[in-house]
Structure formats: structure tokens, C-alpha cells
Amino acid sequence: MAIIVNSSETTFHLCNGEISYLFAVLPNRQLGQLYFGKRIREREDFSYLIETRARPMSSCVFDTDKRFSMEHLRQEYPVFGTSDYRMPAVEVVQENGSRISELCYDGYRIEAGKPKLPGLPATYTEDGAEAETLVIMLRDKVSGLLAELSYTIFSEGGILARSVRFVNEGKKDLKLTTAMSLCLDLPDSDYEWMQFSGAWARERYPKLRKLEQGIQSVGSLRGNSSHNHNPFVILKRPGADESRGEAIGFSLVYSGNFLAQAEVDTYDTTRMLLGIHPAAFEWKLEPGETFQAPEAVMVYTDQGLNHLSQTFHRLYQKRLARGYWRDRPRPILINNWEATYFDFTEERLVEIAKTAQESGVELFVLDDGWFGKRSSEHAGLGDWIANPERLKHGITGLADRIEALGMKFGLWFEPEMVNRDSDLYREHPDWILQTPERHACHGRFQYVLDFSRKEVVDRIYDMMAKILSGAKVSYIKWDMNRSITECYSAALPADRQGEVYHRYILGVYDLYERLTSQFPHVLFESCASGGGRFDPGMLYYAPQGWTSDDSDAVERIKIQYGTSYCYPISGMGSHVSVTPNHQVNRNTPLYTRANAAYFGTFGYELDLNALTEEEQAEVKEQIAFMKENRGLFQFGVFYRLQSPFTHNSSAWMVVSQDKKKAIVGWYRTLNGINLPYTRIRLQGLDPDMEYQIQGDPASHYGDELMNLGLITTDTSSGQAEGEEKMCQDFESRLYILSAAGEGAQR
């Protein structure tokens, strides 16, 4: 890894074994982007890459030159209005009303490792040798705005982490109205744009389309990163697929409003922007004040989408997630939500926990309904005190009973919300986000607390810390069940109302930071009506997130498949629930529900007492199997093999770091009859290693399994004879591979 600055300090080359990132100081002192892609060798002068051409209708910068127009140059951190007509990375309104600035190069510094971003989640290094950071200073001399662009190159992986910090060094107030974290101008537009979109209970479906001239974007203006679109997009070459070809992934480490946008201009260059959504954003900078934009991570690969995803997985698993649970296999849990909803007593909970414990479950999670007057969606949020009518011994008593069974205890909170019917709201009606004299909309009968105010965050912290200090709580499910409306803070002046969305998220991060550092052994799982805030920002505080409220196996395979493009398996909360499924009313076999949930943190969202004896025995086996293999599932190298979005059957697999073990998950939605022969080509194995597949007397070399494929042909029901297993709808299978001689896994 190196950051090479040429002798005239006009070219910067960040590189490691995989990638090169190049930019230069242009003749007008603004920055020009030269290259991002596979590693190229260093040369002293890359200025030939700055293409200036005289073109009709161009607006030109220099009085005596018809060739130099910002409209035709690829840039590093562009502004609007000084001959470039594309969407800018930054816009700052000055006291005279002007929105034009010229951010000119004014020096650099290089730091070992990666500095922290104050108050914001970000990737990190554990020692200085893992990465180097280049900070470029750009100054606008008229307004006094300083923009510090940070670029971190890691020693391994095609990763570049970027962020921007602004300082008002002038004497007058400034107002940032656009402050993107990343701009990447690419020399052509021969890309497909892949976004991850959906809605509640069907989050992160991959959508692919050709980039075209004009603007294509996804974003969120909901205050949370949202179920609808994820702050992650991929630009891939048309021929690229899971195992080959070029692609660039763009991921924003942020949980609030965002915009990911590609603008293809008339010359077919592509401008990629990623950052806080400029709509509904303004940030006032008084003289001396600073603003830190969130981090954006770019990953380049020339080895296909699985490789791209694996790079993100490794980075986010090891250098974004933090703390005690980062590298630890996750406890197998049981959550009472779908078992009881709001209808439970302490005895009922203990009954659920007891059977779960006997089956091998390690953690019992009490979901919504334990606090204040919470017996429905209408009341209680904000009053984080156990309801004595339901829990006569409080949380402390219940946690003790659960621990006495030999399990850990976990608890649900929705810290950011309040019901009007709550003591907190009655005491502080002005603590919600609401615009004066306007109606405040509700979501699920609840209102959003104004987390831009420190006293609000302090109060919630005190209530939560009291519970956590007074009871044996090992896990928290942190939920967030509505988006923001009428965004306005009673505590901020008129000219700072554009800051509320971002200040709100800073408040959320602050509470997470305080709780995770005060209670470092507690495992946090983030949740937002399932996957409404499933983003890298959350992963920094909570190493796992509830992937979706949809717990049906068939739906979950799609959701987890889409989620895996950016996020690691260890980050995906996944449970087995009852049939008929509560979201889609579908009946799937118990083994298929488990076969989907193994590729995640694993747990149960049901009352095991309601299962038959046979099913209970099957659950015991599932748990024993997961305990043996969770290290592999959660921390192995993950490959997508066949997409459930394009096929009736789908597959994925995990491979251990030493390639001696692998598990393939194969799933088929609808059964068929007299079906064709089928094989699935595996990936990531050692071609020379001989593998034993559990239940198959023959062994196979890695090269066979990866090139000829694993035979998945089966016999449909109606066709089966003798001993053969009858297949059904929603069929699934696990293939468990071990290096010959290493012994089968079960």
C-alpha cells in the first residue's frame, strides 16, 4: 500500500496490490479525477489523462483558452456554476446569496492508519500498518471555506474509504446545502446500475438497469436509510457476473437520509455521487465551525460480484463492527414476539424459555410490551420501566429466572419513540419532532423523540442504563418503527432547522456509543420494523440487525440473498418461525425454515411448546447442528451461486478460511415433476482438495465440484420409488462438505 505524491505535488496515486486511485491538481488548482481501477504502475506524470478539448457551446475558465472547461473534466470534488453544469458534490450559500465556490488545492498531509470521524460511525484500523490516509486541503478564498478530503487506502482489498470535513475559516456565516461524502467521475458510462430496493418485509431486492444519459438515483428522505432503498449501489460492466468482471460498489456508512446518484452526461462520462441527501439538508457554519460528512466506502473488483461482496463482508465484519461480539459466534436465541405479541405474562414467558433452553437455545429475548402501559401499539413507548402487572418481579426478577434456567436474557427497546399516552410525553410534549402550528403525523400511533437534543438523549440513556445496570441483560434489540415527519426541533433556531435530520442521527449514534461503551458485553441487534435501517452505520454499533420482519423461508432467501451483496452473514438476524407464516400465510417445511436461517445469526421466533414432539426433536437437532457450524456460517467466505430472483431454485454457500469445510444451501420454490438433470457449480473450494459430501459415499475433488458441478437432481413426489425422499414445494437441502480425512461434520 502506498500514497505517492509526485515531485511537483500535482498528482496523487493511492495504490495497493489490487487498486490504483489517481487524481491531479488541474491548471485552475481544482482537483481532477484521473483513474480508479485495477492497480497500474506508478509514473511521475499522468497529466496526459487530463483531456481538454475545444468544444462548441463550452463555457471556459481561462481568458485565453477555449479548451479548458470544467464541464468536460472529470473532477474530484466538483462545484456547480463555474463552467460545470452537472450536479455538484458541494454547494455553499454565502452571505451575499452566491452559491458559487472554487475549491482549490492548498496542500496535503498523510497519516498512518485512519483517524476517527467524530460522532460518526466509520471503518477503522487496529494498527497504523493496516492503512494510510491522505488528507487534501481545498480552500475557497472568497468564502473562507476549507474542505478536507480524506482518502484511506487499506493494505488489503480494493477498498477506498472517503469522507469530507468542512471548516469555515472565513469571517461570515456560510450555509452548506450539499455536502456529499463521495464523488467519482468515471470516463465512460458502459455500466449497469444495481440498486437494492423494496419495502417493508421485502427489503433489498437487487434491481439492475443500464446506465443511460441523464440522472438515475436512489435515496431516502424518511430520516432512516429505509426499507425502500439501501445506501449501497453497484456499477458493474455489462458482462460482469458473480464470478467474473469489473464492478465498483459504493456504500455509505450512514443511517439517515441519503442520496446515491449517477449522472451520465452528453459525452457519456458518469458522475457518481453518494452522501447525505441534499434535499431537506442545510448546515450553518459560523466562523470557526466545522461539519463532518459521513464516510463512504468504494470497492473495486475485476473478479465479479462475489468478490466485491466478500471484500465488503470482510471490511464490515472486521473493521466496521466492533467490540466483544465482533468475532464471536452469535448466541442462538428465541424471541417471543411472534409467539405472544402483546399477550404474555411472566409465567408464559418462562414456559417459552424453559422449553427453548431444553432444546439448546442460549438466549431468551423479551420483545415489545414489557414496559409502561404497553399492552397495544397505542401506549407506553418512552416509559422504560417494567410493567408490574405483567412482570411482578420486574426485569431484574425475570432476568434472574431466565438465568437460573441456564440461559442469557435479552430485552427489546424502541429508544427513539414515544406514544402520546405515556408519562414521558405528558411531562415533555415538546420533546417530539413537530412543526409549530402544524399537525403532527403518527406512524403506528407513535411520535419521534427529538434526538437532536442532548437532554432527550440523556433522559433515554438514564432509563436504559438503569435497567441494564439493575438486571442481567445480555442482549438488546433496538427497534425503530416509523419514519420522521414534520421534522423540526423546538430547541433550534430557524436558520438551523435544516440540520435536524442529521442532528437526529447524531443523537442516535451518541446513545448507541454511550450504551455500547458502558455495557461492552451486551450484544446489540438493530432493527427498524425489520430492515428499515439495515446499513453500515448501524453495524458499527450493533454487529447484527434484524434483516426483515418477514420470517417466511421463501421470502427470506430472497431478502438475505439481496442483503448479502453488501452485508456479512454475521450481520443478518434470521429466525425460524411458525407455519402458516404470519406474514405470507405460507406453509414451508421446518427444515427449509432452518436451512434459510442458518445463513445468518439463527434463532427462533415462536413458542416451541406449540410444536409437535417430532418437530421439537427436529429443532433440537437443528440447534446442535448450528452450534457445531455457526463459526463457518457466520464467518466463512460467502458465495452466491444461483439467484432466487431469476430461478425457481437458488443456492449459496460458505467456505471455511482454510477451504477444508463448506456448506451449500440449495432451495427450490415450487416442486416439479420429471425434472431435468441439475448441477450447481460451486465456488471457493481448493481445486486439488478431495471433499467428502455428507451422505454421499463417493468423494469429489474441488475442481470437479467447481467445474462439473454438484449434482442436485432429485426425484419429484409422484415419481419416487423405494427409499427415495419425496420432494415437496419449498424444498431445500444442505450439502456439507469436508476435506476427505477431516471427518464428516455431523
Which CB sits closer to ligand GLA, 106 or 377? 377
Shortest distance in whole angstroms from residue 199 CB to ligand GLA: 14
Amino acid at 583: Q
Report how far residue 369's alpha carbon sits from residue 337's, in angstroms, rounded to the nearest whole number.
Answer: 9
Q: How far is CA 715 from CA 51, 184, 370, 593, 641, in A?
A: 62, 51, 49, 21, 22
Considering the complex, state which of residue 410 and residue 537 has its C-beta at the smaller distance from ligand GLA. 410
The count of other CB atoms within 10 Å of the CB of residue 501 is 23
Are the CB atoms for 133 and 148 separated by under 8 Å? no
The answer to whether the beta carbons of residues 574 and 550 sit under 8 Å apart is: no
- C-alpha to C-alpha distance for 636 and 268, rounded to whole angstroms: 40
Indicate which residue of 140, 450, 479, 552 is catalytic.
479
Question: Of 282 and 368, which CB lies nearer to ligand GLA in the complex structure?
Answer: 368
Query: First CA to last CA across the chain, in angstroms?
Result: 43
Q: Active site includes 462?
A: no
CA 550, CA 528: separation in Å to the nearest integer?
Answer: 12
Closer to ligand GLA by Cβ: residue 11 or 481: 481
Residue 534 to residue 231: CA distance in whole angstroms: 9
Least distance to ligand GLA, CB of residue 547, Å:
10
Of 371 and 546, nearer to ligand GLA (C-beta) is 546
Q: How far is the CB of 316 from ligand GLA (least distance, A)?
A: 22
Supply the DSSP string of 52-69, one letter for each residue. Answer: ----TT---SSTT-SS--
Residues making contact with ligand GLA (CB under 6 A): 337, 367-368, 412, 479, 481, 527, 529-530, 546, 549
- Cβ-based nearer residue to ligand GLA, 20 or 583: 583
The CA-based angle 730-736-742, given to 5 degrees, is: 170
Angle at 703 between CA 699 and CA 708, to 5 degrees: 85
Q: Please identify the residue of the shown chain whose CB is closest to the bound ligand GLA.
A: 368
Closer residue to ligand GLA (CB): 270 or 560: 560
If DSSP codes are grouped into helix, strand and coil, which group holds residue 71? helix
Catalytic site includes residue 479: yes
Q: How much of the chain is helix, strand and coil, in % rounded to 5? A: 20, 30, 45
Q: In terms of Cα–Cα distance, which of 625, 651, 652, 654 is closest to 637?
A: 654
Burial class (CB in 10 A: 0-12, 13-18, 19+), 416: buried
Rounded (10°) angle between helices 613-635 and 590-597 = 20
Taking the complex as a whole, the smallest distance from the CB of residue 391 to ligand GLA amounts, in Å, to 17
d(CA 373, CA 386): 9
Report the nearest approach of ligand GLA to the CB of residue 552 (Å): 14
The rounded distance, in Å, linking the Cα atoms of 457 and 507 is 7
User: Which cell is 106 given?
Assistant: 492548498
Minimum Å distance from CB 377 to ligand GLA?
7
- Residue with C-alpha cell 466483544? 324
Taking the least distance from each CB to ligand GLA, the nearer of 342 and 645 is 342
For ligand GLA, the closer CB: 24 or 386: 386
Beta strand 649-655 with 731-739: parallel, antiparallel or unpaired? unpaired
Contact 461, 448 (CB under 8 A): no
Residue showing cell 479548451: 67
Q: Which of 139, 64, 137 is nearest to 101 (CA)?
A: 139
User: Cis ω on the peptide bond leading into residue 580 (within 30° of 0)?
Assistant: yes
> In the complex with ligand GLA, which residue's Cβ is closer, 412 or 652?
412
> Distance (Å, rounded) from C-alpha 468 to C-alpha 519?
8
Catalytic residue among 368, 549, 550, 552: 549
- Hey, which residues are catalytic here? 479, 549
